[in-house]
Amino acid sequence: MNQSAVPDVSPGTLEVVPLGGLGEFGMNMMAVSWEDTTILIDAGVMFPDPDQLGVDLIIPDLTYVEARGNKVKALILTHGHEDHIGAVPHVLDRFEGPVYGTAMTLALIVPKLEEHGIDPGDRLKTVKPRDTIVVGPLSVEFIRVTHSMPDCVALAITSPAGTIVHTGDFKIDQTPIDGEHFDLHRFAELGARGVLALFADSTNVDRKGFTGPEIEVIDAFEELFTSTEGKLVVALFSSSIYRMQLLVDLAVQFERKVAFVGRSIVRNAEIAQRLGFLRVPAGIQIRDADVPEYASQDVLCLATGSQGEPQAALSRISIDDHRFVHVGEDDTVVFSARAIPGNEKAIARTMSHIARRGADVVTDSMKHVHVSGHGSVEELKLMLSLVRPRYFVPIHGEYRQLAQHARIAKQVMSGREPRLQVLLAQDGDIVQFDARGARIADKAPAGRVLIDVTRIGEVGDEVLRDRRHLAADGVVIAVVAIGRQSGSLIGEPELVARGFVFGEEQESAMFKDASGVITECIASSSVEERADQGLMTEKLRGELRRFFKKRSGRRPLVLPVLMEI
């Protein structure tokens, strides 16, 4: 869509445009504008379905941001989860202003920017809860909320039209592990003063009651520490700092050493320790390379890979392909995370691999080893009661969840004055607030942009998988047939290219060699690797990308298609 498709902000009007996260899970982003000032709230990613081959990340369409041009003055972040900060490297060069976030949030962004070769200069501005910053006619106050990681905030944005509250992600944890409490008082004060509109997290709207506090999982883990005779391996999100703290404390109590296993968890644990959000007593932490030196009953491994990601530590461990960490009989592997929809198959495969090693597999359906970071319906009601908004816009969720949250809001607010009005918005809807009221007035361009991150070559080399890219470097599809029983290659791999500009002869020679690369890659893989389609697809993709880059200097989009025959 061209820029003329984005209408100017009407004078005297507060305009809010959700650019992601309303109608899907992930890639949360929102633009808030008053006349010539636009601020962005969050810039998240969404992870692709396993069948979206060749796509590594999904970010919001940034056409609207580009159209607002130099009117975009700042990016404000609520917390450090990927679905809120993952797209920051892609957004940073679309505007010039500062990025505001708490210490933990900004610390998690720094390595991302480094990976992309971006130097933020002095653009990252650290804020604390109850701080207020001013951006032109808008002021933004940060309010502490509790969630599954430290240093999370909600926002109260005050404009000439009134104050809007954006909750970010939250649950109401009354016994937070770091002692930093949900700022119920501030929400209540804002509510008493009068709030124009509330934008609230809908992720867990279909769960009844209250979500438990983070400490709720201690009992189950105490049992596991007691009963496990060998190594204890816990897979969790690398951002689950509270869970890490709780497990480190138990390790101290049960006299086990702690090894962080996997790149992102090592990095995040380091960041959290540096900022004081994770406290590991001296002598407790060991490197993954040290694990073989300890008796298995003396070790706790905290590993990445709770979603069955083929490249993550747990996947390597599960097929006994990790350099230092091996599991077997007497060991227990705990999945301390929920399955993100779409990952169930990959997770189940990883579990089967682990079971084949003889280790016990424990999930949150067997023991209470995971608790959500999002508020259930009673917490969502409490937020509405505290803030008492005039207008309500459910955010963060699929359409059915937004609609359910709307229904609940009407229940909570019935009989109150002024009457609540719900605006059920979706990505791209232009929500206007002015003297006459509020409405969904128009539609701005919004959608998804698929990102193909090239894992080889220089860091930060990434390519927007758009038409220009395809035209320049093309696409190569490799169809590979594998025997269901043997796991070995059947026939010759078939390669098809589009927009990969070479002479016929050159192409057929290159494809012959590429075919050799595939044969070699499969032959050199273990039987277990071969039985894992997701893992083999990743492996082939990497090998072929490397091959084409070397041979042609190009980076075509490589899509291996594995067929079991």
Alpha-carbon distance of 186 to 16, in angstroms, equals 23
Which of 169, 360, 379, 528 is in the footprint of Zn ion by CB under 5 A?
169
Q: Which residues contact 378 (CB under 8 A, 6 or more apart)?
A: 208, 209, 210
Q: Which residues contact 189 (CB under 8 A, 6 or more apart)?
A: none
Task: Work out the number of other CB atoms within 10 angstroms of the CB of residue 561.
Answer: 15
Catalytic residue among 201, 364, 429, 532: 201
Residue numbers 44-83 binding Zn ion by CB under 5 A: 81, 83
201 is annotated as an active-site residue: yes
Q: Which residues contact 109 (CB under 8 A, 6 or more apart)?
A: 77, 80, 85, 88, 99, 101, 120, 124
How far CA 195 is from CA of 142, 164, 421, 440, in Å, comes to 15, 6, 13, 19
Catalytic residue among 84, 374, 396, 405: 374
β partners of residue 218: none
Which among 51-59, 69-77, 159-167, 169-177 is the span making contact with Zn ion, rule CB under 5 A? 169-177
> Toward Zn ion, which CB reaches closer, 46 or 514?
46
Find the shortest distance in angstroms from Cβ 419 to Zn ion. 30
Q: What are phi and psi of 77, to 5 degrees?
A: -115, 140
Which among 162-170, 266-274, 320-328, 545-553 is the span making contact with Zn ion, rule CB under 5 A? 162-170
Q: In a 3-state reduction of DSSP, which class is residue 190?
A: helix
How far CA 91 is from CA of 60, 116, 118, 139, 243, in Å, comes to 10, 12, 11, 21, 30
374 is annotated as an active-site residue: yes
> Toward Zn ion, which CB reaches closer, 180 or 330?
180
Alpha-carbon distance of 532 to 325, in angstroms, equals 20
> Toward Zn ion, which CB reaches closer, 135 or 153?
153
Find the shortest distance in angstroms from Cβ 399 to Zn ion. 17
Find the shortest distance in angstroms from Cβ 280 to Zn ion. 23
Q: What are phi and psi of 520, to 5 degrees?
A: -65, -45
> Toward Zn ion, which CB reaches closer, 35 or 169?
169
Alpha-carbon distance of 514 to 85, in angstroms, equals 37
Q: Which residues contact 363 (CB under 8 A, 6 or more apart)?
A: 334, 335, 351, 369
Handedness of CA 209, 210, 214, 215 (dihedral sign): negative
Find the shortest distance in angstroms from Cβ 460 to Zn ion. 25
**Token pair of 290, please?**
């040290």
Alpha-carbon distance of 541 to 453, in angstroms, equals 12
Find the shortest distance in angstroms from Cβ 95 to Zn ion. 22
CA atoms within 13 Å, Cβ hemisphere of 104: 24
> Toward Zn ion, which CB reaches closer, 151 or 452?
151
Find the shortest distance in angstroms from Cβ 87 to Zn ion. 13
Q: Beta 462-464 vs 448-453: how paired, if at all?
A: antiparallel
Find the shortest distance in angstroms from Cβ 206 to Zn ion. 16
Count of residues touching Zn ion (by CB under 5 A): 3
One symbol per residue from 77 to 116: x for binding Zn ion (CB under 5 A), - otherwise; what is it?
Answer: ----x-x---------------------------------
**Residue 353 sits in the site that holds Zn ion (CB under 5 A):** no
Measured between alpha carbons, how far apart are the two ends of the chain, in Å?
A: 43
Find the shortest distance in angstroms from Cβ 291 to Zn ion. 30
For the annotated catalytic residues, the residue numbers are 201, 374
Interface residues with Zn ion (CB under 5 A)?
81, 83, 169
